[in-house]
Chains A and B, each alone.
Chain A
Amino acid sequence: MPKFIKLSFLTLFFSLYLYADENLNTYIKNLEERLQILENKEYSQGTLKLTSSDTTMFLGGRVSLDTIYLSRANGKEGGSNSNDQFFNANNIPIETEGENSELSLTARQSKFWMKTRTKQINERPLLTLIEVDFWGSNGNERNSNSYNLRLRHAYMVYNGWTLGQTNSLFVGSSKPHTLLSPVDNVFMRQPLISYKKRFGKRSLAVSFEEPESVIMTSSGDKITVNDDRFPDFIMKYEQHSEWSDYSLSLLLRELHIDKEEKQEVSDTLLAYGMNFTAHFHTSNDNTLTFGFVGGKGIGRYMATSFFPSASITKENKIEAQLSWGTHLAYEHWFNPKIRLNIATGKVETNNVLTLGTIDKKAWSEHIGIQYNPLKKLLLGIEYIHGERILQNKKRYDVDRIYLRGSYDF
């Protein structure tokens, strides 16, 4: 009997021990999970991180409000007056009777992005990005200011390869840090396939990109022809160092028209161009940015298609047009939160046609102050003066003041 009691006690004790041990393990496991959650929370930095198998997803974006005062507006109805909200050479108005002084507010600069990173066997991750903003369609300013989404980026990067829609390789590595870019802005977002090889702090990339041609008819209208046969070919060299960044892009493309838009013209020619940008840290955070872009038939790659790639001549042929642009910008930090930005830019072309009413050149000057009260919060004010000169030497100008408040999350 005592032996049985002893045995019972031993069994009970052992089972309690096992139970306690199991509890301890569960407790430790719970603690570890909570620690992991806390660590993830610490590193989330404003992005929502979802983990599914080997893919990690990050979400982010920007909330932005632009308040713009214009000395002369383009005269379009509120809600479809994006010309008054974006600044570029095309948006310096020519006919402005009754359009003096206008105030415009927009939150359409706000955007949203989602990116993923997927681990691969060789440890090089596959990256994707989808980014949208609200410049999709015009709305009205009467009641709701409703605007649709617009695709900005949708692409993947793996092992040097890029597939999808993103910035063209022709776009320079550095831009002036003003709120709005000077008139020579090289901006192009389009579907492409590219490959980049890095050599330490240098890289060389090549890409095949979506072709599109803007051609001027003999009456001075710009038409976009859809007769392209080959992709635009671009090569880009980049160099980065502790105090400077350089990039040089070379463009080669075919311009082709085949009786498009009621034009009795079938012709083909080769176009080319280059874009050089440099960005220097002159002292501490202060930077100097320089850019030069030019070429024969460069057209839409510069100044948002301000000049055509080619023009139709009297002989019913197309002739590539030489255009160029440059900018110089300086950024001076007064303290870690406040900076002054100054920039100037110019574009010019050698017109093929002798019409007096077509654009010959344009320039802009920018001066502004930007303030970061918080790490990702930007408050900025910028004054812009832009001028547009036609071939008949008539000049048109605009003064704009931008106030911007934006927060990146």
Chain B
Amino acid sequence: MNYFIPFATVGILLFSGCYQKLLKKSINPSTHSQTSTELQTMMHQFDNLIFQHYQSELDRDQKRIDYTKDMIVIVDKLVENSKNLQNFTNEQVKNINQESFQTLAHDLEQKSKKLKTLVMNYKVEEISPTLDEINTICQRCHAQVH
């Protein structure tokens, strides 16, 4: 029993690390839907920082900023993807209203720029509403595609 916890932990950590590497390899980062899922996951983690124990509000703010920096990278990927999507010949993508799609892609790019400004100026309180706006843009776009 004395050695069970450390050994089990090391085993699980090793497995967990390998699993993540395998997962990373299997993910094609240019796939829009996967990037979108990553963003949703990070937004969920961001929302749940509030329930983490023993952290002060400023500690949480720093974590919010760290998470936002990660999310900016993902949003930028989405913006890049949305530019590529316009060139696709797929039937599903063809049916999209191009003008509306471009407006949404442009809005997403603007929100990414806004997030960068908020992080730079430490305006943590404005990050969550901006993420909500990004979520709305994503939902409006997905409503058109699906």
What is the interface of chain A, defined by CB distance below 8 A to chain B? 42-45, 47, 49, 58, 60, 113, 115, 117, 123, 125, 127, 129, 131, 152-153, 155, 157, 166-167, 171, 174-175, 177, 181, 187, 201, 240, 242-244, 278, 280-285, 288, 290, 292, 326, 328, 336, 344, 346, 348, 370, 372, 375-376, 378, 408
Contact = CB atoms under 8 A, between A and B. Distances in A.
B70 A242 contact: yes
A181 B41 contact: no
A408 B2 CA distance: 39
Contacts of B81: none
Contact of B56 (A129, A175, A292, A328): A129
CB-CB nearest 3 A-B residue pairs: A153-B56, A129-B58, A328-B9
B57 A129 contact: yes
B125 A43 contact: yes
B8 interface: yes
Contacts of B38: 242
Contacts of B99: none
Interface stretch (B42-50, B84-92, B104-112, B138-146): B42-50
Interface string B1-43: 0100110110011001101100100000000000001100110
Contacts of A123: 120-121
A47 B125 contact: yes
A152 B47 CA distance: 23
A240 B120 CA distance: 18
B66 interface: yes
B5 A288 contact: no
Given A167-B55, A242-B70, A326 B20 contact: no
| Chief secondary structure at chain A's binding surface | strand
A117 B120 CA distance: 14
B95 interface: no
Contacts of A370: 51
22 contacts: A45-B128, A47-B125, A58-B125, A60-B57, A113-B56, A113-B57, A125-B121, A127-B122, A131-B57, A152-B56, A155-B58, A171-B54, A242-B42, A242-B70, A280-B13, A281-B20, A283-B23, A288-B12, A290-B13, A292-B6, A326-B9, A346-B5
A45 B41 contact: no
Contacts of A117: 122
A375 B44 CA distance: 10
B78 to A, nearest CB: 15
A42 B16 contact: no
Interface residues of B, number: 40
Nearest to A187: B54
A346 B41 CA distance: 31
Contacts of B12: 288, 290, 328
A378 B51 contact: yes
Contacts of B56: 113, 129, 131, 152-153, 155, 166-167
A288 B11 CA distance: 12
A115 B126 CA distance: 15
B109 to A, nearest CB: 21
Contacts of B16: 280, 282, 288
A290 B9 contact: yes
B55 A328 contact: no
Nearest to A113: B57
B6 to A, nearest CB: 6
B58 A280 contact: no
Contacts of B42: 242
B111 to A, nearest CB: 14
A175 B53 CA distance: 7
Nearest to A174: B52
Given A129-B58, A280-B20, A328-B8, 11 more contacts: A43-B129, A49-B125, A113-B56, A113-B57, A125-B122, A127-B58, A174-B52, A187-B54, A280-B16, A292-B6, A378-B51
Contacts of A129: 56-58
A201 B125 contact: no
A155 to B, nearest CB: 8
Contacts of A167: 54-56, 59
A177 B45 contact: no
A45 B59 contact: no
A18 B98 CA distance: 48
A376 B55 CA distance: 16
B44 A285 contact: yes
Contact of A243 (B20, B50, B66, B129): B20
Contacts of A376: 50
Contacts of B2: 348
Given A201-B66, A336-B44, A344 B5 contact: yes
A113 B20 CA distance: 38
A60 B70 CA distance: 26
Contacts of A280: 13, 16-17, 20
A295 B127 CA distance: 40
Contacts of B122: 117, 125, 127
A245 to B, nearest CB: 9
Nearest to B12: A288
A4 B17 CA distance: 94
